[in-house]
A and B are shown apart, each in its own frame.
Chain A
């Protein structure tokens, strides 16, 4: 019995070992769920955009509601200048959301519960946002670290804090998602294990906990995808509209 709550996060090879040079890029269970999530997104949104009727059917409504949801989120947080980055943020939100949600199905693998995945996403966002900031504002982008209206005495301290907080963005962004996913799934596994070990007599309490946790985890899965996307929007807003 897999009583260990961490075994669900183990990555293992599916199929043969593929090596490119010194790198092992074998197809794993993590890769499988990335592919499944992407394919699910593509299939749903392809079906949702195929036909255009004035009265949309359910799948078209789903696609269009998601579109306007993300579109509104971006325009609310980053303004109209962020329009060219809509596709990226939409893909990001959907990818994280679907990976989180597929992880909620029993016996599946949660792609976003791995720090390396979330860190690569966050690092890409961080580098991208920084590059956009320097392209848009040149060295004026460094003014981001110098807030206006701060007493000159405090300025060195504030600048150091701002730089640290800016540099910690990819870490906080990736750890937030990864830790939430891992903690939630570990908790569910632990409570599931309690149900088994306490048996029919005492298993009801952890079982009810497990049921409640499942609801909570579905909420967290959505919320974390939303937070990930909205933080990306906020970072993008910093790069596009220097408000300091």
Chain B
């Protein structure tokens, strides 16, 4: 229904337009040559002025602006790239320095440790030697003392026995006989006395 109506109105429209065209005395004003020369003249004039001004003044400026912006952006990018590279190099350098100082510190520590250990060892050796010497000396002393001890004891024994005998008996006893007895006793029971 609507479709039909629409179609009818469309056809009516065409008739309407046709009527208008028929009513117009000259038809399309575009085909009236009265102002053709004027239009051509003004078209050439305005378009010519437009072309000359655009091509000589405005477009080179826009092109230069675009070029400048492009180059500036490129420059900025390059500068940023350069800075990034330099910062990376610096970072690497810094890392190297840190690593180097770490190794150095380790070396210093190692050296110091070795030195200390060496020092301690040498001192220990000296001390050991001293101690050994002292011990040896003491042992020698002890040995001499020990070797001289029976004689002294014998002597003491002889002297004391003489004294004791003198006190007890009141008579002098021959020293040599007492010492012979003591010698005899020592020979007999020396082990018991000195604990060898």
The interface residues of chain B, by DSSP majority, are classed as helix
A107–B35 CA distance with the chains assembled, in angstroms: 20
Within A12-37, the residues touching B (CB, 8 Å) are 23-28, 30-31, 34-35, 37
The interface residues of chain A, by DSSP majority, are classed as helix
The answer to whether A49 and B37 have CB atoms under 8 Å apart is no
Q: Nearest B residue to A29 by beta-carbon distance?
A: B35
The answer to whether B61 and A114 have CB atoms under 8 Å apart is no
Within A45-76, the residues touching B (CB, 8 Å) are 45-46, 48-50, 52, 54, 60, 63-64, 67-68
Within B1-47, the residues touching A (CB, 8 Å) are 13, 16-17, 20-21, 23-24, 27-32, 34-44, 46-47
Within the complex, the shortest CB–CB distance from A84 to chain B, in Å, comes to: 10
The answer to whether B20 and A64 have CB atoms under 8 Å apart is no
| Residues of chain B lying within 8 A (CB to CB) of residue A111 | 43
| Residues of chain B lying within 8 A (CB to CB) of residue A116 | 30, 36, 39-40
Contact partner, A120, options B20, B44, B57, B73, Cβ 8 Å: B44
The answer to whether A64 and B30 have CB atoms under 8 Å apart is no
Given the known interface contacts A28-B38, A54-B72, A115-B31, the answer about A5 and B20 at a Cβ–Cβ threshold of 8 Å is: yes
The answer to whether A91 and B38 have CB atoms under 8 Å apart is no
The answer to whether A87 and B29 have CB atoms under 8 Å apart is no
| Residues of chain B lying within 8 A (CB to CB) of residue A95 | 46-47, 50
Within A188-215, the residues touching B (CB, 8 Å) are 190
Q: Residues 31-71 of chain B: 1 if any A CB is under 8 Å from the residue's CB, otherwise 0? A: 11011111111111011011101110111011111101100
| Residues of chain B lying within 8 A (CB to CB) of residue A113 | 30
A117–B28 CA distance with the chains assembled, in angstroms: 15
The answer to whether A34 and B36 have CB atoms under 8 Å apart is no
Q: Residues 105-127 of chain A: 1 if any B CB is under 8 Å from the residue's CB, otherwise 0? A: 00000010111110011000000
Count the A residues whose beta carbon is within 8 Å of the partner chain — how many?
Answer: 53
The answer to whether B30 and A63 have CB atoms under 8 Å apart is no
Given the known interface contacts A38-B46, A88-B55, the answer about A67 and B39 at a Cβ–Cβ threshold of 8 Å is: no
| Residues of chain A lying within 8 A (CB to CB) of residue B27 | 6
The answer to whether A9 and B29 have CB atoms under 8 Å apart is yes
Within the complex, the shortest CB–CB distance from A130 to chain B, in Å, comes to: 19
Q: Does A146 contact B (CB under 8 A)?
A: no
Most chain B CB neighbours (cut-off 10 Å) among A35, A38, A46, A68: A38
Given the known interface contacts A30-B42, A49-B65, A67-B63, the answer about A42 and B50 at a Cβ–Cβ threshold of 8 Å is: yes
Within the complex, the shortest CB–CB distance from B31 to chain A, in Å, comes to: 7
Q: Does A171 contact B (CB under 8 A)?
A: no
| Residues of chain A lying within 8 A (CB to CB) of residue B13 | 190
Q: Nearest B residue to A70 by beta-carbon distance?
A: B59
The answer to whether B53 and A9 have CB atoms under 8 Å apart is no
24 of the cross-chain contacts (CB-CB < 8 Å) are: A6-B21, A10-B29, A23-B41, A24-B37, A24-B38, A25-B37, A25-B38, A28-B42, A30-B39, A31-B39, A50-B61, A52-B68, A54-B73, A64-B65, A67-B59, A68-B66, A91-B47, A91-B50, A94-B54, A95-B46, A120-B44, A121-B43, A121-B47, A178-B30
